[in-house]
Amino acid sequence: MGFISLLVVALRQDVGQPWEYIAGTTDSTLARWIVNGALSVVSDLLAVTLSVHLVWKLQMGKQPKTLVITAFALRMFVLPILIIRLISLRKVDPNDFSLSYALPEAYTQVEMHCNLIATTLPCLRLFLTAWNTNFMDMRLEEMDPQAYQEHVSSANKS
């Protein structure tokens, strides 16, 4: 998102006063955010497409392939929030920018947090399994090993 924002600002035609946001021109905040959102959607779709392309012909089971593709596809859940944020930007009043921009800013924060969650969610399993000490494990095998062995042997006989 930062790289795309940098490109949008750097590729402007008029760079005389980059701090001015005039609502009626093609250089408005809304136009910048729409371009930023569109490029963000394209980069997310490209990442998912490339992950499918890279994993498709590998000689491995379906489960690891699905896991890799799902890790990249989690970013697709952020797209509705991005669209809601872009729609809310249309209602920003340039004469009362600070107050009318409060809701789009809140949506921006929600989008950033969802991006962070979608990016780190596939990595959490490694940390959580490493921290698993089986303390307070409520399985019969852990609570009463002898009863578990009796249960297994009786189940095997039947």
Residue spans of the domains in the chain: they are 34-92+100-144
Q: Is the pTM of this model over 0.85?
A: no
Out of 37-41, 44-48, 113-117, pick the least confident: 37-41
78-84 long-range contacts (CB < 8 A, ≥24 apart) are 78/44, 78/111, 78/114, 78/115, 78/118, 79/41, 79/44, 81/107, 81/110, 81/111, 81/114, 82/37, 82/40, 82/41, 82/111, 83/37
pLDDT value at position 1? 65
Q: What would the pLDDT profile of 62-77 be if each residue is shown by its tens digit?
A: 888 888 888 889 888 9
Report the C-alpha gap between 114 and 96 in whole angstroms.
28
pLDDT value at position 144? 78
% of the chain at pLDDT higher than 90: 13
Q: Give the mean model confidence (pLDDT) for residues 8-36.
A: 63
